[in-house]
Amino acid sequence: MVLIAAGQMCSGADLAINGRAAARLAEKAAHMGCKALFLPEAADYVARNATHSKSLCMPSESSPFVLTLQSKIRELKALGRPLCVCVGVHEPANDARGRVKNTLLWLNSHGDIAQRYQKLHLFDVALEDGRSLRESDSVQPGANLIPPFNSPVGKVGLAICYDIRFPELSLRLRALGAQLLAFPSAFTMRTGAAHWELLGRARAVDTQCYVVMAAQAGRHGTGESVGLTGEAPALPRESYGHAMIVDPWGSILAQCSDVGRGTEDICIADIDLDRLDTVRRDMPLWEQRRSDVFGNC
């Protein structure tokens, strides 16, 4: 068994401040014996709107958020507390519309960027009051999944937030060998209350994988707007939180508390690959899939 942490934080528009918060969570996770820390989507910043996001966005190689986190990881390695970190950030895109990338980085225990995934499914929704929230206005969608990769906590498959609503991505990652699926997120209050636990447990049961859902939590200090379009005044952005870790049977192993929501926190759990093998052996879904009817994942 190996211990992991799912992180919860309330990112604002200051990359340096957010980087220090992420570094504190990394130090806390490492000192608790964790081998990997999973941080939320958009951990580097939450912006007021698309224009603000573009002004804040910078390459990971020069981002004060990423550099601060890398420095902490290397410091922990030197102290004999190696830690990998999975973290959601923004990166510049070569996009005619001036959009940015919503990406997920895997930083190895040396602090190097070892893996990079770009969010495939973007959160475009219409609200009942006539406004809309369109992530695609400011974010360029990815074009490919990345194959699961080996890590100290098992074979990891990467996805981001809204991706969790599309089970074919999770099923494909499992078919490619994933043992743990990461879904760093920034769920709204309404969708979180309705679907957060439901979706996390469903993807765990569908794939017989551990599911790790790091989360943004609380009201973000971004200023007057959050990228909503339409005539009505924008509301302050607030994220649901409830970062959690789910096992391959669909049981919630750990979850961050609502007490003090909006402050940085972690929840921890053991990743037991023997338990994963038992679940898959006792209910051999992959041997029973009807690819002759539905095709391969």
Catalytic residue among 27, 41, 91, 264: 41
276 falls in which pLDDT band (50, 70, 90)? very high
Whole-number pLDDT of residue 223: 61
120 falls in which pLDDT band (50, 70, 90)? very high
State how far the Cα of 107 lies from the Cα of 113, in Å rounded to an integer.
Answer: 5
Percentage of the chain lying above the pLDDT 70 cut: 94
Catalytic residue among 10, 84, 161, 209: 161
Residue carrying structure tokens 């017989």: 208
pLDDT over 50 (residue 34)? yes
Residue 119 is among the residues annotated as catalytic for this protein: yes
pTM of this structure: 0.94
**Please, what are the domains in the chain?**
2-223+235-289 (3.60.110.10)
pLDDT over 90 (residue 250)? yes
Residue 41 is among the residues annotated as catalytic for this protein: yes
55-64, 179-188, 213-222: segment of lowest average pLDDT:
213-222
Q: What angle do CA 65, 71, 77 make, to 5 degrees?
A: 140
* 252 beta partners: 246
pLDDT over 70 (residue 47)? yes
Residue carrying structure tokens 């406004």: 131
Residue 161 is among the residues annotated as catalytic for this protein: yes
CA 213 to chain centre: 6
State how far the Cα of 31 lies from the Cα of 81, in Å rounded to an integer.
Answer: 7
Whole-number pLDDT of residue 224: 54
Catalytic residue among 35, 72, 119, 155: 119
